Amino acid sequence: MRTQVAIVGAGPAGLLLSQLLHRQGIESVVLESRDREYVERRQRAGMLEQGTTDVLREAGVGERLDREGLVHHGLELRFGGAGHRVPLTELTGRTVTVYAQTEIVKDLVARRLADGGDIRFEAEAVAVDPSAPSVTFRQGGRTHTLECDFVAGCDGFHGVSRPALPGARTYTREYPYAWLGILADVPPSTEELIYANHERGFALHSLRGPKVSRLYLQVAPDEDLSAWSDQRIWDELAARFATDDDWELTPGPITDKSVTPMRSFVAEPMRHDRLFLAGDAAHIVPPTGAKGLNLAVADVTVLAAALTEYYATGSRTLLDSYSDICLRRVWRAEHFSYWMTTLLHVEPGADEFARRLQRSHLDYVVSSTAASTSLAENYVGLPLEGVAS
């Protein structure tokens, strides 16, 4: 078997890359270890930067996004019993959109299959060769080799692509807290996201649609999920979101709950020979800054442009710059995500001095136009470097 670009992983990064290449007449095969039903049901965050929504529209998968996505022009920082709105659009001229990653994957799978795309589900990649580019995979009890010009490793943190990158240097930071996340069949109690800092810990009120809410609580990394009854979750959320003006959180049936640990991770470079890493295969961010999916989209947008340049002209200029271009954005997003996380979470064992410093920083962010603008610029997403608009 042979193709121009072998893509390992059918998450948003791999599927979007395949779609972008298809629109430029470049062949690809997507290999995914799970079945289609599993891939289309994975729950992930869905806060999209404006640049991400622009890319999805350009890729031909923006119709349902524009119809069902919830456009946001601001967010709320809540602390000390009061809410403080950060007007994202007023400060930056840009918006963010809530649209679940699950729905993006469904849209991309449907589009690729309708266009005759080659997505091979239940095809587990077991080895990647960066120099004589190929991917060895198992499917239907047999082992196959897919030869190609280039390999795109979009197979996540635990995939086989990153270990195939010789000499990569990694940087990691573990955080002393995790998120207990729930999905609930209840209309959101807010029109814009609420990031709450409370002495009991951080909380986030997000949305998944007009009738579904997504909420999170700061908990310990080793938290026992069975200890959290539905009632306990709603009581704790209500306490952390409480305001002096008696704002009310509306509870409802919880349909899903999970505990997610938090880490920062970067592998560099993101390329060796003809193997290119994208998305979680190369970097992980804590979810506070809503950057994970958006970084993956930025990676494959640069990679698609580089491959298009190569096949059109033979030039390797953008291919050779891929890692440097992506890593500049990755490290900016890593810092912003770290900053948002430490600004809003309660450090276990923190003394009163540390708490006062954190409160002072929060007060400054919401009272200074310059500080609010810095938050807003990073939150809505910085311009994409290396890709013509």
Residue 322 bears catalytic tag: no
Q: One of 175, 177, 195, 322 is an active-site residue; which one?
A: 195
- Count of CB atoms situated within 10 Å of the CB of 153: 31
Task: State the Cα–Cα distance between residues 216 and 200, nearest whole angstrom.
Answer: 13
> DSSP class of residue 383?
P
> Is residue 195 annotated as part of the catalytic site, yes or no?
yes
Q: Answer for the pair 283, 139: CB distance below 8 angstroms, yes or no.
A: no
- The dihedral over CA atoms of 137, 139, 145, 148, expressed in degrees to the nearest 10, equals -80
From the list 175, 177, 322, 379, the catalytic residue is 379
The answer to whether 257 is a known catalytic residue is no
Residue 198 backbone dihedrals phi, psi, to 5 degrees: -140, 155
Catalytic residue among 287, 310, 311, 345: 287
Give me the catalytic one of 22, 106, 198, 291. 291
Angle at 105 between CA 103 and CA 107, to 5 degrees: 70
Output the CA torsion sign for 281, 24, 57, 19. negative
3-state secondary structure of 341: helix
Helix, strand or coil for residue 385?
A: coil
Per DSSP bridges, beta strands 271-272 and 142-147 are unpaired
Q: Are 224 and 107 in contact (CB under 8 A)?
A: no
Looking at residue 185, the DSSP 8-state letter turns out to be S
Q: Residue 211 catalytic? A: no
Q: Which of 72, 106, 198, 345 is catalytic?
A: 72
Name the nearest CA neighbour of 150 among 317, 307, 1, 322: 307
Residue 287 annotated in active site = yes
What is the residue type of 264?
S
Alpha helices in the chain (DSSP H): 12-22, 36-39, 50-58, 63-68, 88-92, 101-114, 230-241, 292-313, 317-344, 352-367, 369-380
272 DSSP β-pair partners? 275
Structure tokens at 165: 């990158």
- What is the Cα–Cα distance from 347 to 192, expressed in whole angstroms? 26
Q: Exposed, middle or buried by CB within 10 Å (0-12, 13-18, 19+), for 332?
A: middle
Nearest alpha carbon to residue 371 among 117, 118, 91: 91
Which residues, listed in sequence order, are joined to residue 142 by a DSSP beta bridge?
A: 139
Which residues are annotated as catalytic? 72, 195, 287, 291, 379
